[in-house]
Structure 1
């Protein structure tokens, strides 16, 4: 099955599924572009009352598809395009969507998975789900807009541990830290997510959209001075070593 974003609509609910099962639903560049198109489309669907975001199979999203990284990450222009146009294009489309969004999180929720979940309004996780952004092991930082999003939703202390220690947290940890709305037994997460979607669909849809617009207006943007030099590290030895080590299945030597 090719990596893709699957969209299904039924009775006022859109189900968006991250599909790349061979890589635990890691996001390819094509998937980021598709995700943007999907949420721009959803924004224009007047009849939609709720969006449910899930991963195919046993995982939500294990991060980015690292097998693609060597083809674009070592050149500043292509690296900037990836983060500012492709990744932030998709995340920005999610954030700009006025329809309430519920994330059903199972298995790995790493890096890109945390970013996508951070765009959702209500996050429900299976007990066995795991969360983190261990990209320090790959030798590169999180892009500024993405880091601002993750820090806002997970909390600064959690974001620091994810990025500086490559810490991985349990679902219970993330519930206690305020990132998750609920944690349930693995076997029950789908039913609980569906029930949450059902409650949202019973409420006034225009009020929900207006509430999302109000909450969105309260979010600050990262300073432009930070974005200007954000990708100067593209050709760094650390990034080359981190990605090479991952692809060669060996520990990096920083």
Structure 2
């Protein structure tokens, strides 16, 4: 079995579950391709307000499916195709998704798991979660786009420690370094993430999408003036009017 990426929709929220039994949800090539398909679909679902990304069976994702590696890793062209098309196809689709993404991280979050978590906006982990990218033990480096992503989200010093020392860090350490927004007891993790997702779902959905677009553009190095040119088209939108009207009427807005 090569694993799968499962999508479930519950009203305004989606749940994307990494599922690879017996391998702590390690990502196969098929799963990377499924990840791209799933997030391309989610980007087009205008009724949704947020997405929870999680792993099945007490683990987030233990990295890549190493059993597949001899089939393509020893040829430069095949290796490039894997990282630039399969892996970055999935990660790129996550990064391009305008919906708020919440990572529910428990157990192993290694290599590919850190990369997938790095694509999420809100990251909450259980106290038993462990983070790393010990691929130096396997004799290869992290691909450039993936290294850039992890260094940006986890910090350059953390990326160096993970890649050069094969360090494995616990959830509290990753919270202290700014990678996680919160750490909760493992038994409370699911409820915490669900509560955060419900809070997001009650907020203005188009504002969330525009915030993500703005942050993505600024993070990509676009001049702020270029972003300003597209920043105020929401002025007459119903969501904007409802938010202001509700505040003035001292009532809860209905978005």
Same fold (TM over 0.5): yes
User: Which residue number in structure 2 is paired with residue 74 of structure 1?
Assistant: 74
Deviation at 1:181, TM superposition (A): 0.5
Q: Structure 2: any 5+ residue segments left out of the alignment?
A: 222-255
Query: Which 4+ residue blocks in structure 1 deviate beyond 2 angstroms?
Result: none
* Structure-2 residue corresponding to 1:64: 64
Provide the aligned C-alpha RMSD in A: 0.9
Q: Tell me the residue number matched to 2:233.
A: none
Partners of 1:147 and 1:73 lie apart in 2 by 18
Q: Which runs of structure 2 are paired with 1:90-239 in the superposition (5 Å)? A: 90-220=90-220
C-alpha distance in 2 between matches for 1:220 and 1:83: 20
Structure 2 length as normaliser, TM-score?
0.86
Say whether the 8 Å CA contact 2:32–2:86 is kept in structure 1. Answer: yes
Between the aligned partners of 1:133 and 1:218, the Cα distance in structure 2 is 27
Task: Quote the offset at 1:2 in angstroms.
Answer: 5.2
Q: Is the 8 A contact 2:24 2:62 kept in 1?
A: yes
Alignment partner of 1:115: what SS?
Answer: helix
- Aligned residue for 1:51? 51
Higher relative contact order (CA 8 A, sep 6+): 1
Residue matched to 1:10? 10
Structure 1 unmatched ranges of 5 or more: 222-254
- C-alpha separation in 1, matches of 2:170 and 2:2: 30
Secondary structure of the equivalent of 1:23? Answer: coil
Larger Cα-atom Rg: 2
Deviations 1:56-84 (A, max 9, x none): 11100000000000000000111000000
Cα distance in 1, alignment partners of residues 80 and 157 from structure 2: 27
Task: Kindly provide the CA deviation profile for residues 99-133 of structure 1, in whole angstroms up to 9, marking residues without a partner as x.
Answer: 00000000000000000000000000000100000
Q: TM-score of the superposition, structure 1-length normalised?
A: 0.86
Paired with 2:210 and 2:10, the residues of 1 have a C-alpha distance of 23
